[in-house]
């Protein structure tokens, strides 16, 4: 796999992020009030610390090669992407309409193929949550643009 592996890449990315953020604190137009009054006073301390330790970590990773176990990439990607879509759409399409397809997709991805519990959970759980929060506790979850009651 060459010199790069997952651990080294992650460590490298962390170093780069710290460096980018740090250079950003010097480039921007912040009020230079000096010392404790400067908004960048504290973040600079923290970012220097981050950069320094992350560099040490990268060196440690480079000195000793360590591998991570192989993940089920497809499953993780499906679940991660669908979670983000669900979180995005829940305040737009409403909780119920977003949660049902999301739950079903997660269950199918995780090998739950028995149709009865699959449908029961993916429809029943969101329905129960909406009923509880929107109608019993009157602490409403986001509703769909189509009807105010779900």
Partner 1 sequence: MIELLPQAAALIFTVEGIAVLVLGTMLGIVLGALPGIGSTVAVAMILPFTLSMSQAPAILLLLAVYAGSVYGGSISAILINTPGTPQSAATCLDGYPMAQRGEAGLALGWSTIASTVGGLVSAVVLLLAAPQLAALALNFGPIETFALILLGLTCIVSVSEGSLIKGLVAGSIGLFLGCVGGDPITGEARFTFGQFQLISGFNLLAVVIGVFALSEVLIRAAAKPEQDQTLVAFKGIVLPPLSAWRGRWKGLAKSVAIGNGIGILPGTGAATAAFISYAEAQRSSPNRGNFGKGEPDGLIASESANNAVTGGALVPTLALGIPGDAITAVMLATLTLHGVTPGIRLMTDNPVLIAAIFSGFFVINLMLLPLGMLVSKAAAPLLRLREAYMLAMIVLLCAVGVYFVRGNPFDLMVMGAAGIVGFLLRRQGMPMAPLVIGMVLGPTLEISLRQGLIITDGSFAAFFVGHPIAAVLVCIAAGMLSLPLITKLRQRGKTRA
Partner 2 sequence: MIKTLKLAAGTIAGLALAVAAQAQDFPERPVNLVVPFNAGGGTDLLVRGFAPEFAEALGGDVFVSNMAGGSGTVAAAALAGQKPTGYQLGYWSVTVSTIQPQIKDVPYDVDSWVPICSVAASPTVLFTNASNDLTTVDEMKSAIEATPGKYLFGSSGPGAMTHLTTVAAFAGLGLMDKIKHLPFQGSGPALQAMAANTIQFFGDTEILMQRGDFRPLIAFSDKRLENFPDVPTATEVGIKAPLNELYLWGGLFAPAGTDAAVVAKLSEACGTAVNSDGFQKFAADTQTTINYRNAEEFNTFFRAQYEANSAIIDAAGL
Size, binding site for partner 1 by CB under 8 A: 64
Give yes or no for residue 39 binding partner 1 (CB under 8 A): yes
Count of Cβ atoms closer than 10 Å to residue 94 Cβ: 22
Cα end-to-end span (Å), the chain: 51
Query: Could you list the residues that contact partner 1 (CB under 8 A)?
Result: 6-7, 10-11, 14, 18, 21, 24, 30-31, 33, 35-37, 39-43, 46-47, 49-50, 53-54, 56-57, 60, 68, 71-73, 75-76, 79-80, 83-84, 86-88, 90-91, 95, 99, 102-103, 106-107, 109-112, 117, 121-122, 125-126, 129, 133, 137, 139, 141-142
């Amino acid at each position: 796999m060459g010199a790069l592996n997952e651990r080294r890449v992650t460590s490298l990315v962390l170093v780069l992020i710290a460096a980018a953020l740090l250079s950003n604190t010097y480039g921007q137009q912040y009020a230079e009030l000096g010392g404790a009054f400067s908004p960048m006073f504290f973040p600079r301390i923290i970012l220097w610390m981050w950069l320094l330790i992350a560099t040490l970590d990268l060196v440690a990773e480079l000195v000793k090669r360590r591998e991570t176990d192989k993940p089920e990439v497809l499953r993780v990607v499906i679940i991660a992407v669908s979670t983000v879509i669900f979180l995005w759409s829940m305040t737009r399409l409403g909780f119920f309409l977003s949660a049902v397809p999301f739950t079903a997709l997660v269950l199918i991805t995780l090998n739950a193929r028995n149709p009865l519990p699959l449908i029961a959970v993916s429809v029943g759980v969101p329905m129960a949550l909406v009923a509880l929060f929107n109608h019993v506790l009157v602490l409403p979850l986001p509703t769909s643009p189509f009807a105010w009651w779900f």
